[in-house]
Amino acid sequence: MRAFVYGVFYRLPHPVRRRIVRTFVPKYIVGGVVLVRDSEAPAPGRLLLLRQPPGKGWGLPAGLLQRGEPPIVGAARELAEESGITVDPRALTPAVPNAVVHAKGWVDMVFELEVPASTTVLEVDGAEVYEAAFHPIDDLPRLTLSTQRLLAYYGIGPLVAPDDPTSWDRPSAPSHDG
């Protein structure tokens, strides 16, 4: 029976097959996120965080992709909109893992960037973002729960248990010791 159903499905015109798939397959919202590290900070480094409404925790530069927008372009756009840091999307490197699939229906495409904090001007609009600042990775401020969960994939933050043998040793974190 299964072979028959697949045989019928693949004989349908492509637009009909696509509509069927879009109707019955779970849909995901895709966002772009940038982990911005201070290239001048000694290990373990400093990370750019944003305080956004309602202002109860700090998060990462991130936002939803526009329809048809490549993730790396959307991540660079969101970084510029939220922090004032404008970079060519090619300056971003895919984080490892690059895609984080969340159970609640969204996917974060995560990229990394290093900038010198001493010469990087941070500009926020006061509406979408209240404040932007670099924070020591070993002394992070209160983070939003979604930021805590995302950073844990990269071995950062309060949800990473130092003695947990299942936590990953993320080689994507750049070394800052000379």
pLDDT digits (tens, 9 = 90+) for 26-73: 778 999 999 999 999 999 999 999 999 888 899 999 999 998 999 999
- Residue 19: the pLDDT is 86
Q: Is the model's pLDDT at 139 over the cut of 60?
A: yes
Rounded Cα distance between 89 and 74, Å, is: 9
**Cβ atoms 60, 68 nearer than 8 A:** no
Q: How far apart are CA 173 and CA 44, in angstroms?
A: 9
CA-based torsion, 150, 154, 156, 162: positive or negative? positive
Say if residue 146's pLDDT is above 90.
Answer: yes
The CATH label, of 3.40.1190.10, 3.90.79.10, 3.20.20.70, 3.30.70.260, for the domain at 27-152 is 3.90.79.10
Between the CA atoms of 143, 38, 131 and 65, what dihedral angle is there, to the nearest 10 degrees? -80
Residue spans per domain, the chain: 27-152
Give me the count of residues in the chain. 178
Q: List, for residues 118-135, the tens digit of each pLDDT value.
A: 999 999 998 899 999 999
